[in-house]
Amino acid sequence: MDETPRDDETPGVGPAWEPGTLIGRRYALERQLGRGSNGNVWLAKDQLLDKSVALKVLDPELAKNRDTVRRFLREVALAHAVTHPHVVRIYDTGEQDGLPYFTMEYIKGQTLEERIDGDEGRLDFKALRRIALQVLDGLESAHQVGVIHRDLKPGNVMLTHRGAIVLDFGVAGIEEAPKGDPSASSIMGLVRTEAGTIFGSPAYMAPELWEGESASVRSDLFAFGVMLYQMITGRLPWTAKTPAGYLQLLATTPPPPIRALRRDTPWPLLRLCMRCLSTDRAHRPGSAAAAIDLLSPLRSVGRRRLAFAGVAAAGVLAAFAWARAPWALRATGLPDQQTRTDLDAAVRMFDAGDDAAALRLIERLSAQAPNSATLVFWRAAVYHSLGDASGRAAACRTEGPLEGSAQWLRRAKAACAETFGTGTSDPQRAGDLLPLWVETALVPRSARGEDTAEQARDVLALLEREDANPLLPNRAQQARVHLEITLGRTDEAQQHLSDLVDAAPRIPLFAARLAWLASRRGQDERAATLASRVRAVDPTPALALQMDAGRMREAWEGIEALGEEHPHAPALVELWCTMAWRYGAQDPPAQCRAAHEGFAHALWSEQPDGLAGTLADPCPEVGDVSTVLTVAPWGLETVLTEAALRGALCRAGDGDPQALGGAREHASRLLAATPDSPWALLLAADVAERSGDAPLANAHRLEAVQRWRDADPDLPVVGALRTRVQGPPAGPRTAEHER
């Protein structure tokens, strides 16, 4: 048999797409999940992120048409902008063997179609209403960024542990078919494309789509109406044996009355369904939000639409959407609506992790309203986030009495206190500032070794509520990650951060935090990639990684290049001075002598206290350490466990027979949590040596030397380690040597 490929065959298609194949040098195919009208869906393993994904590849026949390929990739790019709990997340796109593909989250569950057609009986109205609201939520988030689904149907809705999730946004209906009237024998299987417009399954197609008009928000809502009718009654509103018969029914005959098929249907569901099924699109709801209002009039749009990463483009909630009336402006101490709008923008920048941009805008606004309590609070909050104590102090100096409501006055006062606060000690009353409360009230207590587990669990439950924190959605996600670390759920925290970075790659807050956590866990290449990605916005991860490697001169050159006026400079100088102490500097380097406050100054003081005292004490007394990693300043995340280990070694030296076992346990936990940390390796070497295992001690020290292979040669700790491992350097030969 002649197996020479024909000219019209797509090269590489066929055997290349089979279990075990590596796609895009990243995705290992495992098994085929299904076949759609325009291609196959595979279960694949993302080898970079070590997670399962669903990979959809365009059908080879469709891939022959480059216009179709371009449209496919364009639709995927649009759908990628949608980030919402009830919309499948799209991760990546690529092309292999001439076939474009994209990856999305792998979701386990039951399709709505399977539920409707299954043996479980009709959906009860409570579940039905919940599914309808979740689907509309997902549609609204997509419509807000200009993405139309085009093929909404029960088969494209998955019922999962996190609720109903809408699949195949914008890409389900890409297919080429003959122009003209449909001629398929089954109306359910027909899809057609006209004038470059993507259409979906005809049973769910709005009448205007049959006329060749473009898909729209209202055509998606017609499809939703058909789906809702099915959910209520168990059948389609119109059925026919031929396309022509179906079109005739659609144009002339209303669907059977819902209450004739299900007498107890609630009026809100009935009204919503019939409005969406109107053949006159002007009579349908104008948006998914309007449809939600028909079903749940008291449901607040602002509290409804918290995206998974809080970053749906053009869907980020205004920080002070309530502050529109003159009395509301007076409550904030802001002079006019324009100032309020600008502050909204600054808060969104802060929420995304672009602290420098947020600060520049807030500084300009503060010149216009120097006594606004709201501006004082946010200015102080940004300086606190940047680690700039002197900047925060300057932000709190006003020309006159603060202006604003009692709430904002209380918040401004707390932000300007010796320790930054949000104006309440009760997380239940923190409201939309709960993420900041976590970072400034709960996390520092955990870093000091206090038992915060019970409160952390309670606050995590508050943050996980669907309607929580519309003001700072990204900071809320970061707070959740930090609480997971506080509770010892480090793997869960890293997966959470990875999902956030996948869903919102342009949000520097998430990438910078994942760079930090990846570096702690020995994932250097990943940390460096993420640090490089955010360096223009937040240089801290990139410079901190240099300090970790002992390249202190290079790091200082990077800090100097930023300039003294750079918003991140004060915190970076503080970090550099802290690391200089850790590397064994006996006296403050010249660039650190001017500091009269901060952690580095406390380390060099005659009697350091608090966390600095714990780090400086060679034989500290530390209680039970529940988790190895804490959310502390960069480089200090394992200080408590290190201190507990040193204290145990001291007690072992004093003859305590049980202390050495405790030291071994701490060393094991340190190496498990931070496997490549030279500090952990040095302490583990001390424990091995005290236990009589010299080969293991030497192995740990050799590995630490390797980790510091690029370190500056004049760092005392590194120099002493190299001498111990390699022996003293040979000096010049003298006459005495010759004799």
User: Chain-wide mean pLDDT for the chain?
Assistant: 83
Owner of token pair 């672009």 = 354
Rounded CA gap, 278 and 256, in Å? 13
Neighbours of 439 (CB within 10 A): 20
222, 276 Cβ separation under 8 angstroms: yes
More confident position, 558 or 181? 558
Query: Residue 329's pLDDT band (boundaries 50, 70, 90)?
Result: low
User: Residue 24's pLDDT is what?
Assistant: 85
DSSP state string for 168-193: -TTTTT-----SSS---S-GGG---E
Rounded CA gap, 370 and 400, in Å? 8
More confident position, 656 or 230? 230
Tell me, yes or no, whether 265 and 131 share the same domain: yes
Q: Select from 174, 167, 150 the least CA-distant residue to 63.
A: 174
Q: 623: Cβ–Cβ under 8 A, 6 or more apart, which residues?
A: 449
Q: What is the CATH number of the domain that holds 715?
A: 1.25.40
Rounded CA gap, 570 and 217, in Å? 49
Tell me, yes or no, whether 98 and 115 share the same domain: no
Q: Select from 301, 143, 295 the least CA-distant residue to 220.
A: 143
Q: What tens digit of pLDDT does each residue of 214-243 get?
A: 889 999 999 999 999 999 999 999 988 877
Rounded CA gap, 474 and 465, in Å? 14
Owner of token pair 């993405």 = 147
Tell me, yes or no, whether 244 and 98 share the same domain: no
Fill in the DSSP letter of residue 155: G
Rounded CA gap, 40 and 36, in Å? 6
Mean pLDDT of 643-651: 92
User: Residue 502's pLDDT is what?
Assistant: 85
Q: Select from 196, 204, 195 the least CA-distant residue to 168.
A: 204
Phi, psi of 145 (to 5 degrees): -105, 15
> Is residue 31 in a domain?
yes
Rounded CA gap, 547 and 187, in Å? 65
Tell me, yes or no, whether 278 and 252 share the same domain: yes
Rounded CA gap, 145 and 151, in Å? 17
pTM, full prediction: 0.58
Task: Give the count of domains, the chain.
Answer: 3
> Is residue 471 in a domain?
no
Query: Residue 625's pLDDT band (boundaries 50, 70, 90)?
Result: confident
> Is residue 260 in a domain?
yes
Rounded CA gap, 169 and 75, in Å? 8
> Is residue 706 in a domain?
yes
Tell me, yes or no, whether 130 and 82 share the same domain: no
Q: What tens digit of pLDDT does each residue of 465-522 get?
A: 755 667 898 999 999 999 999 999 998 899 889 988 888 887 899 999 999 999 998 8
Rounded CA gap, 63 and 355, in Å? 44
13, 97 Cβ separation under 8 angstroms: yes
Query: Residue 566's pLDDT band (boundaries 50, 70, 90)?
Result: very high
- Statement: residue 338 has pLDDT above 80: no
Rounded CA gap, 510 and 533, in Å? 11
Tell me, yes or no, whether 152 and 297 share the same domain: yes
Q: What tens digit of pLDDT does each residue of 44-78 get?
A: 998 877 789 999 898 888 888 877 787 777 777 76
The type of residue at 474 is N
Owner of token pair 């898909």 = 215
Instruction: Using the 3D structure, point to which of 245, 274, 304 is the last residue of a domain.
Output: 304
Q: What is the CATH number of the domain that holds 163?
A: 1.10.510.10
> Is residue 641 in a domain?
yes
Cα end-to-end span (Å), the chain: 88
Query: Residue 187's pLDDT band (boundaries 50, 70, 90)?
Result: very low
- Statement: residue 13 has pLDDT above 50: no
Mean pLDDT of 186-193: 35
The 3-state DSSP class for residue 23 equals strand
Owner of token pair 């951060």 = 497
Tell me, yes or no, whether 36 and 96 share the same domain: yes
Tell me, yes or no, whether 80 and 199 share the same domain: no
> Is residue 371 in a domain?
no
Owner of token pair 């959910």 = 231
Tell me, yes or no, whether 72 and 171 share the same domain: no
**How distant, in Å, are the alpha carbons of 149, 154, 186, 502 from that of 203?**
15, 11, 10, 34
The pair of three-digit structure tokens given for residue 35, joined into one six-digit string = 């076949």
The region that residue 417 occupies, defined by phi over 0 for left and psi between -120 and 50 for alpha, beta otherwise, is: beta
Mean pLDDT of 554-575: 94
502 is a catalytic site residue: no
Tell me, yes or no, whether 149 and 186 share the same domain: yes
182, 202 Cβ separation under 8 angstroms: yes
Rounded CA gap, 304 and 738, in Å? 86
Q: Select from 238, 676, 310 the least CA-distant residue to 472.
A: 310
Ranking 382-386, 392-396, 613-617, 668-672 by mean pLDDT, the lowest is: 613-617
Fill in the DSSP letter of residue 387: T
More confident position, 194 or 549? 549
More confident position, 332 or 644? 644
> Is residue 218 in a domain?
yes
Mean pLDDT of 439-455: 89
Tell me, yes or no, whether 643 and 713 share the same domain: yes
282, 208 Cβ separation under 8 angstroms: no
The region that residue 610 occupies, defined by phi over 0 for left and psi between -120 and 50 for alpha, beta otherwise, is: left
Instruction: Using the 3D structure, point to which of 90, 105, 120 is the last residue of a domain.
Output: 105
> Is residue 495 in a domain?
no
Owner of token pair 């409160």 = 455
Rounded CA gap, 174 and 62, in Å? 9
CA dihedral 69, 75, 80, 85 (to 10 degrees): -130
Q: What tens digit of pLDDT does each residue of 694-711 get?
A: 999 999 999 999 999 999
Q: What is the CATH number of the domain that holds 31?
A: 3.30.200.20
Domain that holds residue 266: 110-304
Catalytic residue among 46, 92, 151, 676: 151
Tell me, yes or no, whether 198 and 101 share the same domain: no
Query: Residue 185's pLDDT band (boundaries 50, 70, 90)?
Result: very low
Instruction: Using the 3D structure, point to which of 275, 304, 333 is the last residue of a domain.
Output: 304
Mean pLDDT of 169-183: 41
